[in-house]
Amino acid sequence: MELKTFPQGIHPSDSKELTKELPVNNMPVPKKVIIPLSQHIGASATCIVQVGDFVKTGQKIGDAAGFISANIHSSITGKVIKIDECNTPGGRRSKCVVIEGDGKDDWIEYKKQENLDLLSAKDIKNIIHEMGIVGMGGATFPTSVKLSPPEDKVIDSLIINSAECEPYLTCDYRLMIERTMDTIKGIKIMMKVLDIDRAFIGIESNKMGAYNTYRKMLDGDKSIKPVLLQTKYPQGAEKSLIKAILNREVPSCGLPMDVGVVVHNTGTVLAVYEAVVKGKPLIERVVTVTGYGIRQPQNLLVRLGVSFEEVINQCGGFIDKPGKVINGGPMMGIAQWDITVPVIKGTSGILVIPAEAVIEYYENPCIRCAKCVDVCPQFLIPSELAKYSKKYNWDACDDYGVFDCVECGSCSFVCPSKINIVQYIKMAKNEINMRKRR
């Protein structure tokens, strides 16, 4: 069978064997949570509780501020003890609501919508917005916004991003296997909102189990089609995924909706299902706790706001000395310096690399080997971008397409001179954006 894919890309070792076969475990409800009011792309939510307030599990504590923003809910029952700036795994400090649990786990009752026919697209979008659903692949873009393309864009396909191309991570894979029917229902809900009758589930070939399960469950259903993709990084980058499945190219600096497509992650689909059908706000998620520095790697269902430290202890703690603790996968994840940071909506994995496996690289001069040019999924010339960024030549960076970069890190991965190309590119993007704002 021919596997679909996109041009170029890299083949890192996927290292998923650590947690691939482990069913999702529930982590006990934590005693204390730190819930950042900004866990998503867009404006930070407005805090609607005060210190001393008593909150129930699932109660709204942050109100979406503006169009691109998301509601925030409490993930435990207890008392608000502090509202202060704290570190978040995204690397920035954000205003956080600290809640101390009282041991009970009283849920706020939201309406359960068993019969979807009674709901209009607008009703569903309102529920998704109300329940604070954001993209759970890591980018955390508010889902209700993504489901509301402008009038002039004709959408004909929904793509479910189940590629999970980041090495080590298996949370989406477990959801696909364990919650197959629920994810299918979630897809149906999204299709109803978008008013389309065609959806694809893109699955990489190293997750045959998930592909076969979908094939079996969707037998006879022509509207949703699982598609087997080549195992290649960054297969799960939106633009690469659309290219692989539909052979459409999202225009330079454009969005998937420009080619009639909306892309959502597996975890998001499940969250949408739970929000609409079960009346459950986004207060917990599956996190793959993995790496060779953790005693018992697991796929863990955790409440948002619990600290990395507690999750790591739940998994037996570190083996010897930890070298790096990463929020997300090894390719795009962010290394943490403080493990008291909370799990947030975009935390797909906590990866622990042991100290002895952390290699310190020294940058060598570029030898123009063009390996980065040959792997860049956006057909850029990463080495030139890095060269110009290093010389603060922002105009040249812009000219060479710095804003087309999807920051997948393939260039830095292959570079034999160990130049961290993608970091120079991010630096140039930041700098140019700052100058534009001035």
Partner 1 sequence: MEKVKLAVTPAPHIKSIDTVSSVMLDVVIALCPAILASIIFFGIKALIIIVTCVAFAVLSEYICQRLMDRPVRINDFSAVVTGILLAFCLPPSIPWYIAALGAVFAIVIGKMVFGGLGYNIFNPALVGRAFLLASWPVFMTSWSLPEKLTSSNWASLYDSTTSASALGMFKEALNVAKSGGGTQGLESVYSQFSISSLFFGNVPGSLGETSVIALLLGAFYLWFYKKHITWHIPVTYIATVGLLAYIGGGPELMTGNYLFHITSGGLILGAFFMATDMVTSPITPYGRIIFGLGAGLLVFIIRIFGGYPEGVCYSILIMNAATPLIDRWTRPRKFGEVR
Instruction: Let me know: does 118 contact 157? Beta carbons within 8 Å.
Output: no
Q: Work out whether 383 is an interface residue with partner 1 (CB under 8 A).
A: yes
Q: Please identify, using beta-carbon distances, which residue of 142 and 202 lies nearer to partner 1.
A: 202
Applying CB under 8 A, the site for partner 1 has a residue count of 69
Site string for partner 1, 341-380 (x = CB under 8 A): ----------x-x-x--xx-x--xxxxxxxx-xx--xxxx
**Residues 6 or more apart in contact with residue 216 via CB below 8 angstroms:** none
In angstroms, what is the minimal distance from the CB of 86 to partner 1? 16
Binding mask 407-436 for partner 1 (x = CB under 8 A): --x--xxxxxxx-x-xx--x----------
| Residue selected from 279, 330, 342, 346 as contacting partner 1 according to rule CB under 8 A | 330
Residue 353, beta-bridge partner list = 324
> Is residue 391 part of the contact set for partner 1 (CB under 8 A)?
no
Stretch of 34-42, 69-77, 113-121, 327-335 contacting partner 1, by CB under 8 A: 327-335
Residues 6+ apart with CB under 8 A from 250: 238, 239, 242, 243, 256, 258, 259, 261
Rounded to 10 degrees, what is the CA torsion of 386, 390, 392, 393?
-40
> Which tokens go with 170?
């298996």
Q: Is residue 331 at the binding interface for partner 1, with CB under 8 A as the rule? A: yes
Q: Which of 16, 232, 280, 324 binds partner 1 (CB under 8 A)?
A: 324
In whole angstroms, the minimum distance from the beta carbon of 321 to partner 1 comes to 8
How far apart, in Å, are the Cα atoms of 211 and each of 25, 174, 180, 198, 217? 22, 12, 10, 18, 10
* Nearest approach, Cβ of residue 211 and partner 1 (Å): 25
Residue number with CB closer to partner 1 (274 or 384): 384
Q: Exposed, middle or buried, 317 (CB in 10 Å: 0-12/13-18/19+)? A: middle
Instruction: Give the nearest distance from C-beta 4 to partner 1 in angstroms.
Output: 16
Interacting residues with partner 1 between 189 and 248 (CB under 8 A): 239, 243
Which of 27, 271, 325, 428 binds partner 1 (CB under 8 A)? It is 325
The span from the CA of 293 to the CA of 357, in Å, is 9
**Cβ proximity to partner 1, 209 vs 401, nearer residue:** 401
Return the number of the residue (252 or 433) whose C-beta is nearest partner 1.
Answer: 252
What is the spatial distance between Cα 300 and Cα 315, in angstroms, rounded to a whole number? Answer: 9
Measuring CA to CA, which residue among 246, 249, 263, 227 is closest to residue 3? 227
Binding of partner 1 by 309 (CB under 8 A):
yes
CA 189 – CA 98 distance, rounded (Å): 34
* Interface characters, 6-45, with partner 1 (x: CB under 8 A): ----x-xx--------------------------------
User: Which of 68, 119, 381, 396 touches partner 1 by CB under 8 A?
Assistant: 381
CA angle, corner 164, sides to 163 and 166, nearest 5?
130
Instruction: State in angstroms the smallest separation of the CB of 438 from partner 1.
Output: 25
What is the x/- site pattern for partner 1, positions 151-170, by CB under 8 A?
Answer: ----------------x---
> Which of 221, 249, 320, 356 touches partner 1 (CB under 8 A)?
249
Which residues are near partner 1 by CB under 8 A? 10, 12-13, 167, 239, 243, 249-254, 309, 313, 317-318, 321-326, 330-337, 339, 351, 353, 355, 358-359, 361, 364-371, 373-374, 377-381, 383-384, 400-401, 404, 409, 412-418, 420, 422-423, 426
